[in-house]
Structure 1
Amino acid sequence: MRNILLVTTVIMAGIFFTSCRSAKKIQTAINKKDSSTVVITNPVVNDSALFVKQTMDTLKSKYIDYKTFAAKVKVEYEDSKGKQPNVTAYVHIIKDSVVWVSMYATIFNIEAFRVLITKDSVFLVDKINKEVQLRSLDYLQEITAIPFDFTTLQDLLVGNPIFMSDSLVSYRKTDDRLLLASVGQYFKHLLTLDTNNVVLHSKLDDVDITRNRTADITYDEYENKEGVNFSTFREITVSEKNKLDIQLKYKQYEFNKDLSVSFNIPKNYKRK
């Protein structure tokens, strides 16, 4: 079980959660005595309605849409026990169908895990211990207490903002930044954009203040290939009781190329 949790956490780049942080921090961050902060009390009649609509329309237009995605990712992560060995992950996504990941122990260049994720299942082949695990996606949500679904996982890997909500409650403009505060079903979300409405940072605080879950996701080193503005470097802080820091460096990536997915389960592997 430890392996499937570890691999799933790394694949999803953590999705969240830091203890000892108040869920009110999102409002504190956006209201730091700045007169340019606009609180949206009624976006239908408020003077800021047009600005909000234009900003949200622009964000949606920048959403990375694709049919397939392939990438080579260097993964560095550190948990409560310190810095862990680097992993190189090869990722294939056939949108809304399957996520395939092959993970190599970088220091030895040996494939350690192979993972296949569908809309309802997770298959894990542990090549180190010669074990196979099959779990439902719902089961992973239960044991990790993370409200992710297949779409969220895809968005996280390709660099789209996750847990986005149209329910903006306030925004703040500076000379070079725009901060948007929204509230969704699970999280309060503070999204930081540059002057071109490119996502720079995502801060998620749990709506349930008894959980104190938090995620910090930084998007950097953007490249634009074939019209896709893609963040090749991301830093993610995740934890609830224990902190986990993750860095994802995309060394190679391609959109909309023909992909094959191979997932064979050796007969002599122990099933768990």
Structure 2
Amino acid sequence: MKNKILVFLIIVAGIFFASCRSTKKIQTAMSKKDTTAIVVTNQSAADSVLLIKKTIDTLKSKYIDFKTFAAKVKVEYEDSKGKQPNVTAYVHIIKDSVVWVSMYATIFNIEAFRILINKDSVFLVDKINKEVQLRSLDYLQEITQLPFDFETLQDLLVGNPVFMHDSVVSYRKTEDRILLASAGKFFKHLLTLDNNGTLLHSKLDDIDITKNRTADITYDDYENKTGVNFSTFREITVSEKNRLDIRLNYKQYEFNKDLSVSFNIPKSYKRK
């Protein structure tokens, strides 16, 4: 059970891209300060640049900006051994400050883990084995084998696009879809949007085809209750030698409410 519950920490850390290894920092896309270089191939240059710029601007306009975020998430997990026990995760985010996660073993309805992540450190309290771990943020990079920053974690949880590359190499519009392809040093990235610029699917493939590593993220069941277009269901598939399927079903969520986090470490817990 311990390893299965820890999967949510790995999700938070961005493990669904863990098979795409690199050693340099990859910029988080969609932040307001980002710029995207447009490199058009095999298209009418002037028209294509305008279409691509319009698409990127629309996607950026849908970036979810927030002060606080709280959610209850049902996490389903399936690997080569089959479906694993479900986890219920309660997530609190104070933007640019802290990510707090309380994870319950759904079958027993008991809190099993509590996690606190800030810009420098990761705290993990294992309430089953009465242990506590303190690691630097670099620790998450080690276990995921992926460079990322705190802002990327926020974007992953609220449903903003991440790991877009700095050059667009292909643009195609169909009757009801827009396909936007980019290429970076480590990934080929294909984004699928609807005609309103809403993110539907993200597919990353390793530049090195011999490694056969790929990650797919589907964004579905959008709601717009308070002016935020939010994907309440996400499906993540990672494959290399084995396949990992993760489903995140957001049962409750709210933005910009008064929020606090509680993270007490019992003195009797063993430190690791």
Q: TM-score range by the shorter chain?
A: 0.7 to 0.9
- Correspondence for 1:47: 47
Gaps of 5+ in 2: 21-38
Q: Which range moves more in the overlay, 152-161 or 138-147?
A: 138-147
Query: 1:199 is aligned with what amino acid?
Result: L
Contact 2:4/2:84 (8 A) holds in 1 = no
In structure 2, C-alpha distance between the alignment counterparts of 1:55 and 1:166, rounded to whole Å: 15
Structure 1's 13 and 189: CA in aligned 2 closer, same or farther, altered over 3 A?
Answer: same
Over residues 57-83 of structure 1, what are the superposed CA-to-partner deviations in whole Å (9 max), with x where a residue is unaligned? Answer: 111000000011000000000122221
- Correspondence for 1:229: 229
Structure 1's 253 and 168: CA in aligned 2 closer, same or farther, altered over 3 A?
Answer: same
- Correspondence for 1:90: 90
Q: Does 1 or 2 have the higher relative contact order (CA < 8 Å, sep 6+)?
A: 1
Tell me the matched-pair count.
Answer: 253
Contact 2:12/2:156 (8 A) holds in 1 = no
- Correspondence for 2:30: none
2:219 is the counterpart of 1:219: yes
Q: What is the CA-CA distance between 1:119 and the residue it aligns to?
A: 1.2
Helix, strand or coil: the match of 1:225?
coil
Cα-Cα RMSD: 2.4
Query: 1:95 is aligned with what amino acid?
Result: K
Query: 1:115 is aligned with what amino acid?
Result: I
Contact 2:4/2:85 (8 A) holds in 1 = no
Query: 1:16 is aligned with what amino acid?
Result: F
- Correspondence for 1:6: 7
Structure 1's 189 and 216: CA in aligned 2 closer, same or farther, altered over 3 A?
Answer: same
Question: In percent, how many aligned pairs have the same letter?
Answer: 79
Query: 1:125 is aligned with what amino acid?
Result: V
- Correspondence for 1:15: 16
In structure 2, C-alpha distance between the alignment counterparts of 1:137 and 1:44, rounded to whole Å: 45
In structure 1, C-alpha distance between the alignment counterparts of 2:216 and 2:201, rounded to whole Å: 7
- Correspondence for 1:141: 141
In structure 2, C-alpha distance between the alignment counterparts of 1:140 and 1:17, rounded to whole Å: 11
Structure 1's 148 and 62: CA in aligned 2 closer, same or farther, altered over 3 A?
Answer: same
Structure 1's 253 and 214: CA in aligned 2 closer, same or farther, altered over 3 A?
Answer: same
Over residues 231-263 of structure 1, what are the superposed CA-to-partner deviations in whole Å (9 max), with x where a residue is unaligned? Answer: 000000124443210000000000001111100
- Correspondence for 2:103: 103
Q: Which range moves more in the overlay, 262-271 or 185-194?
A: 185-194
Structure 1's 154 and 7: CA in aligned 2 closer, same or farther, altered over 3 A?
Answer: same
Gaps of 5+ in 1: 20-38
Q: What is the CA-CA distance between 1:15 and the residue it aligns to?
A: 2.0
Query: 1:60 is aligned with what amino acid?
Result: K
In structure 1, C-alpha distance between the alignment counterparts of 2:168 and 2:81, rounded to whole Å: 38
Helix, strand or coil: the match of 2:139?
helix
Q: What is the CA-CA distance between 1:218 and the residue it aligns to?
A: 0.2
Q: What is the CA-CA distance between 1:187 and the residue it aligns to?
A: 1.9
TM-score by length of 2: 0.86
Query: 2:228 is aligned with what amino acid?
Result: V
In structure 1, C-alpha distance between the alignment counterparts of 2:107 and 2:124, rounded to whole Å: 21
Q: What is the CA-CA distance between 1:145 and the residue it aligns to?
A: 1.1
In structure 2, C-alpha distance between the alignment counterparts of 1:181 and 1:246, rounded to whole Å: 24
TM-score by length of 1: 0.86
2:156 is the counterpart of 1:160: no
Structure 1's 3 and 141: CA in aligned 2 closer, same or farther, altered over 3 A?
Answer: farther
2:262 is the counterpart of 1:262: yes
In structure 2, C-alpha distance between the alignment counterparts of 1:186 and 1:249, rounded to whole Å: 30
Q: Which range moves more in the overlay, 53-62 or 237-246?
A: 237-246
Structure 1's 106 and 176: CA in aligned 2 closer, same or farther, altered over 3 A?
Answer: same
Q: Which range moves more in the overlay, 159-168 or 234-243?
A: 234-243
Query: 2:192 is aligned with what amino acid?
Result: T
In structure 1, C-alpha distance between the alignment counterparts of 2:248 and 2:13, rounded to whole Å: 11
